[in-house]
Amino acid sequence: MNLRISRRAALLGLGALPLSAPAYAQGAPIKVGVLHSLSGTMAISETALRDTVLMMVESQNSQGGIGGRRLEAVVVDPASNWPLFAEKARELLQVHRVDVSFGCWTSVSRKSVLPVYEELNGLLFYPVQYEGEEESRNIFYTGAAPNQQAIPAVEYLMGPDGGEAKRIVLLGTDYVYPRTTNRILRGFLNSKGITNADIMEEYTPFGHSDWQGIVARVKRFAGEGKKTAIVSTINGDANVPFYRELGNQGIKAEDIPCVAFSVGEEELAGIDTRPLVGHLAAWNYFMSVDSPANRDFVQLWRNYIKNPRRVTNDPMEATLIGFKMWAQAVATAGTTSVDAVRTAMIGQKVAAPSGYESEMKANHHLTKPVMIGEIQADGQFSIVSKTPTAIAAENWSPFIPENANRRRG
């Protein structure tokens, strides 16, 4: 506890530095903006990403920075407040003059800062899986697009190992990512011969905590004689009460498996997972991946956070990949100038902790492997399926008909 506080005190110092040292000449530090909520509802997820960026900055500096220049982090708190995200983005770019930013978790925060980054020609790395349907020249998307997470997961559920589900429940928090993902999934399911009568779709508000009724309705829906599976796009806080209710109402993974797209190791840390063994999550990375790059990552993280019980998760890995690629691109370009770095980014490759090589494609999205993990009693995931190679992102889903007349460029 003392350690934590003193680390925070050090952070304050870091945040204070840019105000007192406005110089930026050749050889001056490279500034890395960190735009993650440290208070409010999203702090629960985003503080770990702030720490990941700070860890990467420290690690890069210990290797001599980039091209002889030190890195310096500028941390701001957009406080889970979407207009404040836009304001803080502008502050990072215009006041602190950062060379790159890492930030955002929710889609709305990204949508809020997007016009700012485009107007001021900044560079933002966005590390969370999202609904796609976007492509900005100022943003690099290092999380998964729906085809890198949702569709393979549902394919798995419909396959022999997943239980050959014939009926699907789409449960989500009512915001754009679940809505869009479920729309894509519905299109996909229809194309596989599952009719709308066999799809139940329900949305709940953020932080929904009373799942009794919905879980009971899911049970009823599943009791119609066809093998049923749940696809959960439930966000953040609402997962703990949801899984508790699932466990308490006795929904076993063998009967109604539930695959989640927003539940990772960090979320499971707040749940007793013993009743949940066998439920699934789909990601591009799990902490339990056995690869040299991952061992290094976990070690680096635990050393940095000074807590052997803290876990890593997919968005943290996506942050790490993005950071490494950016560092490589700056080294390649020999400058931090946004246009040069953007060009140098395309085609960068990183040996990711997932054990695969990720490549930045021209659509500003990464190639990623897709992994399905089963929840284990210790809060980790056992990987039960993974794609043989990293697959490219389809940020414009073929299952959304309107994408046909999308405005190009």
Chain positions 312 to 351 lying near other proteins, rule: CB under 8 A, are: none
Of 138-146, 198-206, 328-336, 346-354, which part binds other proteins (CB under 8 A)?
Answer: 198-206
Q: How far is the CB of 238 from other proteins (least distance, A)?
A: 8
Q: How far is the CB of 358 from other proteins (least distance, A)?
A: 25
E strands present in 62-161: 71-76, 100-103, 124-126, 139-141
Query: Which member of 6, 64, 119, 121 binds other proteins (CB under 8 A)?
Result: 119
**Residue 262 contacts by C-beta under 8 Å, 6 or more apart in sequence?**
129, 232, 233, 234, 235, 236, 239
Can residue 260 be called a binding residue for other proteins (CB under 8 A)? Answer: no
- CA separation for the pair 317, 52 (Å, rounded): 9
Task: Kindly tell me which of 35 and 100 has the beta carbon lying closer to other proteins.
Answer: 35
HEC readout, 307-325:
CCCCCCCHHHHHHHHHHHH
Q: How far is the CB of 324 from other proteins (least distance, A)?
A: 25
Query: Which member of 30, 271, 276, 370 binds other proteins (CB under 8 A)?
Result: 271
Instruction: Report the site for other proteins in 96-115 (rule: CB under 8 A).
Output: 106-108, 111-112, 114-115
Task: Kindly tell me which of 79 and 346 has the beta carbon lying closer to other proteins.
Answer: 79
Beta bridge partners of 140: 125
Q: How far is the CB of 132 from other proteins (least distance, A)?
A: 10
Site string for other proteins, 372-401 (x = CB under 8 A): --x-xxx---x-x---------------x-
Q: How far is the CB of 65 from other proteins (least distance, A)?
A: 23
Classify residue 311 as exposed, middle or buried by CB count within 10 Å of its CB (0-12, 13-18, 19+). buried
> What is the Cα Rg of the chain in Å?
21
Task: Kindly tell me which of 40 and 67 has the beta carbon lying closer to other proteins.
Answer: 40
Instruction: Indicate the SS3 state at residue 362.
Output: coil
Number of residues that bind other proteins (CB under 8 A): 112
- CA separation for the pair 320, 297 (Å, rounded): 9
Instruction: Report the site for other proteins in 44-103 (rule: CB under 8 A).
Output: 44, 47-48, 75-79, 81-84, 86-88, 90-91, 93-95
Query: Which member of 21, 192, 223, 398 binds other proteins (CB under 8 A)?
Result: 223
Q: How far is the CB of 71 from other proteins (least distance, A)?
A: 18
**Could you give phi then psi for residue 271, rounded to 5 degrees?**
-130, 145
- CA separation for the pair 314, 146 (Å, rounded): 15
Of 57-65, 122-130, 158-166, 349-357, which part binds other proteins (CB under 8 A)?
Answer: 158-166
CB 363 within 8 A of CB 395: yes
Amino acid at position 186, single letter:
R
